[in-house]
Amino acid sequence: MRVRKLGVIGAGTMGSGIASLAASAGVPVVLLDVPAAGQDRNALARGGIERAKKSKPAAFMDVNRASAIEIGNTEDDLGRLAGCDLVVEAIIEQLDPKRQLFQRLEPLLPEHTIIASNTSGIPIELLTDGRSPSFRARFLGMHFFNPPRYLHLLEMIPTPATTSETIDAARRFSDRILGKGIVVAKDVPGFVANRLGVFGMVLAIRQMEKHGLSIDDADVLTGVLTGRSKSATYRTADLSGIDVIAHVTKGLSDTTGEDFSLSSWVLELVKAGRVGEKSGAGFYKRVGKEIHTLDWRTGEYRPQAKLETPEIKRLSKLPLPQRFAAIRDWNDREGAFVREYLLRFSHYVLSTTPTIAYDLTAVDHAMEWGYAWDAGPFEQMDLLGLEFLRRGFVELGLDEPALIREVTGGFYTADGTQVLALNGGYEPVPREPGEIRLAELHLPSNRERHVLEHSDDASLLDAGQGVAILEFHSKMNTLGAGVVDALHRALDRVERDGLLGLVIGNEDPRTFSAGADLSMMLDLLRGERTQLEGAVRKFQDTSLRIRRSPFPVVAAPFGLALGGGCEFSLYADRVQAHAELYMGLVEVGVGLIPAGGGTTELLFRFTSELDPYAEADPFEAVKRAFQLIAMATTSTSALDARKLGFLRATDRVTMNRDRLLADAVARVVDLAPDYVAPLPRTITVLGREALGNLRYAAWAMREAGQITDHEVRIAHELAYILAGGDGQPRRVTEDDILPLERESFLRLASTKETQERIQHMLKTGKPLRN
């Protein structure tokens, strides 16, 4: 059974977020809430969508997709859910209202419709009390995490009555269409992620009090430093709502018999209505442009004072494995807090996992995908080491959990392919069928078969099916000379070995490529002009070679795809993009123009798109390219990238990041049998008239104080390329425009202002307006 239409009941933060995600994925949605008083009985559902359209971070990948959502109310429109294949309940987190809703739904829904609850902790089997066997067979928990667009985790909680067909259909839809990472959880209070995450939050509060730290201190120590999310403990609570945290902790205490109680000063915040972001104050509050932090001892707010010590600075620069090794011997006040916090949390995870999860990997994925951790609890325990854990448990007077007694070496084997099983011994790490994991191709057991070439800059890997994947290894996958050379070698190897084609992609969690290596560029600027010119020419030749190779090249961008990373994608035969794609030609930020073929490609792409329209003004294509590049516009999603023109109608979007490389390989396989390299294109450039119009626009912006003198110069260089020079209209090929692109780049690179911008970016990571 395929889910073609989704119903969501409850238009609050979660319900509207789920609806926004589904609509972004192209799924029609019916969104209902209780009827509002007054003339507009659908006001609550309408308000949920309006809030989602304005939310930050954005709930929609393309706000126009809001039109795919029908709104209504639960008195007049409940029957409209009969046309849905999956209905997700996301109403108030109380048992009786949910049961009453399901009682009303049962006679209305057809026999094929799956029913799910987004409850964050109410046992799923309790929700179906009084329902028929047919209803129970089609019912399960589907717990999304907020915000649904950005947090990868979906906890799926079947009951003993849920059929395998129901689970498979819900799983397929959630994985492939919504892009979720699925953890199947046991039907226990809090499931997996919230049971552990809320315990960690309560523990952090208690340890902060014990060690005499401030809220600012604790958030530094329970954030990125220890592999947790940037929002750490207290910022996360403010975003979730301290009142919600209080409700959840009470529920967990009542249902588990464990002590999840919050400190009295936290409960006082709830009584006072200071419940976090939604109320304007909680553990933090904004005062003008400043952030103030609660002093938990006095209840007063003070200007934020982030904890900085030499040791914290040193640890922050270390990769996660070395950082956790160093934490074992961190003995000052902050170190004592971190070590005890990690030990107590690890002990709870070891003791609780058999109750809440079916395997250890589910626990790690739950915290990585639902709480944005860099590594899950068991991965972190392996980094800390069994000796540290056992000794620490003894020092804290904690018993030795049974699970740790089963470990030989680590919870994961050294190659990462096996994990400790809950019933003893080791079992293969679970994998979704069809996923490609590059890290596994590098394992010693696979290296001979799969690693075709390897260097410090890049690896060429045999992904199977006759397709090679090129992955970069540079910092933020920047494109230096070594990476460019590796790309040429990869193209040579694919052609020489008769492979079907090439995918350009990698497994970095955030960055496809941040663009050209600015450090290398600065070094070239200190040398002869001919060296820089040769490097730029080679970059252009690389883009052209991607386009003109006798086999398909597919780019698989995700996250940041900037500058040269964007240009290589523009020249690929197809792009298989992840939905979360922040793509742009941002070179003006360092005082340059795109010179790896990006300026030329946008001019040709946008001009060619107007060919079918005889009455179209060709200057619109020039203006479109000028605005995208001059404003350094970056897409906010793959859907936005398509609207901007970075993606074509033939390019595709993968919702699930874990499936991106496999989808890209499938595109190569699909294109290869009858592949012919595209013919060179010709367009008419507009010359002097277009140049004058663009220069006038730059002058007007300077007069209005919107850009600097140097930015006027950048705009003039960009205009010259897009106009095809300062002459009459003429027919040109890409080979006519690329030299203009190259010369403009070199002229700008030689200026003091551009070099200052490059140095500032390297030093601060931020653009300079000079």
Catalytic center residues: 120, 143, 155, 194
Q: For residues 559 and 221, give the distance between their C-alpha atoms in angstroms, rounded to a whole number.
A: 27
**DSSP labels for 108-162?**
TS-TT-EEEE--SSS-HHHHTTT--HHHHHTEEEEEE-SSTTT--EEEEEE-TT-
Q: How far apart are the C-alpha atoms of 116 and 141, rounded to whole Å?
A: 5
Cα dist. 262→9, 71, 657 in Å?
Answer: 31, 38, 37
Q: Measured between alpha carbons, how far is 135 from 105 in angstroms, rounded to an integer?
A: 10
Whether the CB-CB separation of 404 and 347 falls below 8 Å is answered with no
DSSP string, 303-332: E------HHHHHHHTS-HHHHHHHHTT--S
Structural element, H or E, at residue 583: strand 581-584
User: Cα–Cα distance between 33 and 85 in angstroms, integer?
Assistant: 19
DSSP label of 185: B
Nearest to 150 by CA among 257, 242, 230: 230
Contact 496, 463 (CB under 8 A): no
H or E element that contains 584: strand 581-584
Of 14, 37, 18, the C-alpha closest to 27 is 18
Question: Is omega for the bond preceding 550 within 30 degrees of 0, making it cis?
Answer: no
Closest to 660 (Cα-Cα) out of 437, 358, 388? 437
Is the dihedral angle over the CA atoms 52, 58, 64, 65 positive or is it negative? negative
CA proximity to 569, closest of 479, 452, 461, 495? 479
- CA–CA dist 16, 637 (Å, integer): 19
Alpha-carbon distance of 15 to 31, in angstroms, equals 8
Contact partners, residue 613, CB within 8 Å, separation at least 6: none
